[in-house]
Chain A
Amino acid sequence: MQQSSAPKVALATAITVAGGVVLWMAGSIPQGFGYDAVGPSLFPRIIGIGLLISGALSMLESFRPADDENGRADLRPVLLILGAMLLLAAGVRIAGWIPTAALVFLAGTIAFGDRRIVLNLVIGVVLAGIILIAFNEGLGLNLPLGPLSRIGG
């Protein structure tokens, strides 16, 4: 079954548009005055033009017959994983490393089809806990303790 070229066209368009945006942003980078005669906007401009050209080439290539394909994609586990990671980013200072990292672990296991939520949550907590102890005590790095910081510390 031939893969439709619509997604490839979309990608090529995205690349081309990105090139345009980069080129436009490059225009607003203030020039230096230095002896280097080239300034900070040269490379961004080259990148913008490069993306435009790549986008155009990709567009042409997207109508070639596809010899590789992926099958259907299930994006829900992808969103689950990304969500857990973003949750950690947002909450790690408030809630601490252990619960947020445990949730990342849990999200990974659920995404790969393991439905034993309680078991995996426990494993996640233990894993995160080991990491916390090893890093904070052993290596002197500082993973946030969150509410735990009120105990001793």
Chain B
Amino acid sequence: MLKTTLALIFAATTAFAAPPERLEITVPGGPGSGLDQAARGIEEALRSEGIVRNVQVVNVPGGGGMVALSQFITTKDGDPNVALVQGAGTVFFPLTNATPVSLADVRPLARLAGEYEVIAVRADSEITSLEDLMARFKADPGSIAWGGGSPGSTENIFFARLGKIAGMEPRQVNFIPHPNTGEVVVSALNGQVSVVGGGMQDFLPQVEGGKMRILAVAAPERLEGIDAPTLRELGYDIVFANWRGISVHKSLSDEDVAPMREMIETMVKSDRWHEMLAERGWLDFYLPEAEYQQFIADEESAAKEILTELGITQ
């Protein structure tokens, strides 16, 4: 009887791996960047829910995130208490630049949050709807200037794919890159571009202030609180999001990874996490390891395809 009890207790304790004592999160971006905000969000949730008491966020900006990635791979061998945040950009960057490393060199563990891309225009723009936009685009492709982030990044790929679905050549999309979100909004407001793309949060203040309106969202279903159709509804089968997730070092065994996995599972179910998602306008994009890795592989191959057609792959 005693033996059985002890055996059960033993089994129970090893099956339930407690979250790690401490956690260090490497951020491939400077303070204030998108990935940094994600990391600090994770830090806050973990600490206020008491899941992990000692969380440290380390910024390693530079090289499109590759400096951080490279450093992570070389210095965090065998360390079960460190994680790396990444996003869509981390997948896309190595496709257009010759980098020594990529996400294939780490072990993606879970996708956590994100937001769907939206297409927006200045409130008084002559473009009345998405159908109107696409009609003008097809009639005279060069006349539509599409504003978004860096070359080879989310919006570049998003618009190119949209153009292709509309039956045009990806290269016909006149993509106007901008170094940051602020400039994208400015380009929309001063009218120099016809449309802009980005996350909902980027344009929300302007939409609420009546200066911009949303033509469509690239989500599977309509988004709460936004009176705009999905691209699917309008006949363009595309769903596109800017997402964030975390990875650990490839050298870790499944046993080593169990505490971290436990930590994530607890966090994404916690109240504080959901509160925070609501506060920041992020969506719950949780995907566990296997599905996450498949997701990354799918995103990468779709992106590679379109980037090759654009001629900017390396």
* A residues lining the B interface (CB < 8 Å): 32-35, 142
| Chain A at the B interface: SS class | loop
Q: How far apart sit A142 and B26, CA to CA, in the bound complex (Å)?
A: 12
Report the minimal beta-carbon distance from A145 to chain B, rounded to whole angstroms. 13
Whether A34 lies near B175 (C-beta < 8 A) is: yes
Query: Which residues of B have CB within 8 Å of A142?
Result: 58
Q: How far apart sit A35 and B311, CA to CA, in the bound complex (Å)?
A: 14
| Chain B at the A interface: SS class | mixed
Q: How far apart sit A34 and B312, CA to CA, in the bound complex (Å)?
A: 11
How many interface residues does B have (CB within 8 Å)?
8
Q: How many pairs of A and B residues are in contact by the CB < 8 Å rule?
A: 9
Q: How far apart sit A139 and B311, CA to CA, in the bound complex (Å)?
A: 45
- B138 at the A interface (CB under 8 A): no
Query: Which residues of B have CB within 8 Å of A32?
Result: 312
- B171 at the A interface (CB under 8 A): yes
Whether B175 lies near A33 (C-beta < 8 A) is: no
Please, what's the 1-or-0 string for B175-200, where 1 marks a CB less than 8 Å from any CB in chain A? Answer: 10000000000000000000000000
Q: How far apart sit A59 and B285, CA to CA, in the bound complex (Å)?
A: 64
Query: Which residues of B have CB within 8 Å of A34?
Result: 174-175
- B78 at the A interface (CB under 8 A): no
Whether B174 lies near A35 (C-beta < 8 A) is: yes
Query: Which residues of A have CB within 8 Å of B311?
Result: 33
Q: How far apart sit A142 and B58, CA to CA, in the bound complex (Å)?
A: 8
Provide 5 A-B residue pairs closer than 8 Å at the C-beta atoms, listed in order of the A residue: A32-B312, A33-B171, A33-B310, A34-B175, A35-B174
